[in-house]
Chain A
Amino acid sequence: MAVEIKIGDRVAWVNLLSQDGNLLEIDVDGKIYKVDLMHTADGTFSILEGGYSHNIELVPQPEAKKYTAYTLYQSYDIEVIDAEARYLMNRGGNGFGSGENSISSPMPGKVVKILVNEGDQVKEGETVIIISAMKMESEYKAPKDGVVKKINVKNDDTIEGNQILIELDLTIE
């Protein structure tokens, strides 16, 4: 899964091409790296690249997908911008296109709580479902006034990216 990673002022595009155990082939902004990468669950990384040894420590920030990274000489602020992050960034207020009559999550995750039942009246901007992805909970809101037509998931369900979770009958003005 390709994502963008913001490091300082630079935004890099990065993609995993192949994996053989700890041997990885990774594309960073068009440059292909073959690395031997080992890491611990709490963020200590040893990367061997072209015979050079890189020692990196990642410290997670309170916000999901944000890190401070430490190398021998530097520290960097890092943010992973994936589909969900971009989606949340672009959404603004309720940020849906007009006429949208469904609610979906751009990311795989888990349903934390559904706040409505089929047949309920919902107002524009009302939170209808809470999804957790990457330990971060996101509230998904009704794009327009309407009635809940169908709920395709239940609490604690694991969901796919872009799966339609809730369908609405929009109130026609």
Chain B
Amino acid sequence: MSQIKKILVANRGEIAIRIMRTCRELDIETVAVYSEADRTSLHVRYAHEAHYIGKAPSTDSYLNIDKIIAVAKNCNADAIHPGYGFLSENAEFAKRCNEEGIIFIGPTPDVIVQMGDKIQAREAMIGANIPVVPGTEGVIETEQEVLAVIKEIGLPIMIKASAGGGGKGMRLVQEESEVVSAVRAARSEALSSFGDDSVYIEKYITSPHHIEFQILADQHGNVVHLFERECSVQRRHQKMIEETPSPLMTPELRNEMGKSAVEAARAVNYVGAGTIEFLVDNDLNYYFLEMNTRLQVEHPITERVTGIDLVKQQIRVAEGHKLDFKQEELFQKGHSIECRIYAEDPDNNFMPSAGKVYKISEPLGLGVRTDGYVYEGYEIPIHYDPMISKLIVWGKTRDEAIRRMRRALYEYKITGVKTSIKILERVMNNANFIAGNYDTHFIEKNQQQLMSSEQRNDMNDMVIIAAYIDYLDKIGRTDENTKEFTAAQSRWKKIPYINHF
């Protein structure tokens, strides 16, 4: 058993700060690493120590294993927390940490390799009797093989890259005539994205729900699950909104899927926090999709309903402690929803909108949490993920949580960059969402309501008045002869300027 005294967080943005918050509570020193583009990023300011690791592109900095290991050794960090993304599912990095005597807060390199390869993961799950989506058991080589599989499981099917993720290297086949071109397209996309053109086939679930289970496992063979997260509100295979409990879930199904998730973790001797992703169809059949061997973006909703700090548990497990709770001691209390706030323009095909944050005021009040990292005057760099923050609310019931989310989104004001806040508000007002009636096609199916930007013309005149007064105010400053308007800046806040970096 080793006590961790100093953790290097090999990440940036909100997740780096999220991890450091728990470290502060545990009196663990924190080390930030940063790229050239992130000198003024909040994780650098929040940490005890901060070290430069390279140029802005992540391959030179946040993916630079040698540099990060060197910093960790130089500053005597006992452990490295990889967050999510970047090196979090990089087996080579986990291996290097082990070799250098630094604790990698995550599973073993072998498990990362096994779960990172979709075909290997699928085989492991079939071995453990976890239901998987019907399809090929290994890589397919020829179109004839594909046609044979189609005879067996029927159309539609999905062709997927073995090394895939994030929606790349995936092709839907609805007609036999599409097979040849779909296989070719999936292969070439897989090769260019992952350097590996092996593909396999799965039956395509027509109205799928994306439901995942959080699991925690210690080094002593104890495994628990912390219930589900419903992640079906997605656009371009990226999650937008998550909630727990899932509106689709029944107590029986939860119990069954939870057991499968624990079995899945046991099957690979998993250690730490991980997530088992399932597809669930409308008849409540569930299929293993993949395992994420790291902390998830949406972990806070699980924390909110279970009361368990997942980062704290990750650290304790890494130190060698046993889990200090059993499955039967865990409950879901109330309902939690997370909305991801992206710097993007929902009215313009979700184009990323980098730039300087002019002003930001975050929602507060009962049952509201924000995990973010931007501040007034901060320039959102173009090099990384456009996520600004995660807004998490809790309510006693789902209805209360939705109302609270609406209120919190209403309070959330970010100017200077475009954000996804408006479309999130529309989701919270969408009848299908409110009824809990949605699958992964929610955004396409409800496009009309979600994309309509209702103009409120009554506000126009007040906006005109504001612009006019600001103009007169500026004129007043350059010309003392303009007596008709007295500038108002001394009447309210006596801060004539904001000091930006």
Contact = CB atoms under 8 A, between A and B. Distances in A.
Interface in B460-487: 460-475, 478-482, 484-486
B410 interface: yes
B488 interface: yes
B496 A31 contact: no
Contacts, number: 147
B299 to A, nearest CB: 30
Interface string A1-38: 10101010010101010010110101010010101011
B493 interface: yes
Interface in B407-466: 410, 413, 415-416, 418, 422, 453-456, 459-466
Name the prevailing secondary structure of the A interface residues. Answer: strand
A45 B466 contact: yes
A17 B464 CA distance: 15
A109 B478 contact: yes
B460 A7 contact: yes
Nearest to B460: A7
Interface string B318-360: 0000000000000000000000000000000000000000110
A26 B463 CA distance: 12
Contacts of A1: 472, 475, 482, 484
A117 interface: no
Contact of B463 (A39, A41, A42, A71): A71
Given A59-B358, A135-B474, A35 B467 contact: no
Given A42-B498, A71-B459, A16 B470 contact: no
A19 B465 contact: no
A42 B472 contact: no
Given A7-B460, A74-B459, A26 B413 contact: no
B495 to A, nearest CB: 7
A155 to B, nearest CB: 16
Contacts of B455: 74
Nearest to A70: B415
A44 B359 contact: yes
A134 B479 CA distance: 9
Q: Contact residue range for chain B?
A: 35 or more
B497 interface: yes
B174 interface: no
A73 B423 CA distance: 10
A68 interface: yes
A118 interface: no
A161 to B, nearest CB: 9
Interface stretch (A75-83, A92-100, A144-152): A75-83
Interface of A: 1, 3, 5, 7, 10, 12, 14, 16, 19, 21-22, 24, 26, 28, 31, 33, 35, 37-45, 47, 49, 54, 56-59, 65, 67-76, 78, 80, 82, 108-110, 132-135, 158, 160
26 contacts: A1-B475, A1-B482, A3-B468, A3-B471, A5-B464, A12-B460, A12-B461, A14-B468, A26-B465, A35-B465, A39-B466, A41-B489, A45-B469, A54-B459, A57-B359, A68-B415, A69-B467, A70-B415, A74-B456, A74-B459, A75-B418, A78-B467, A80-B471, A82-B471, A132-B478, A135-B474
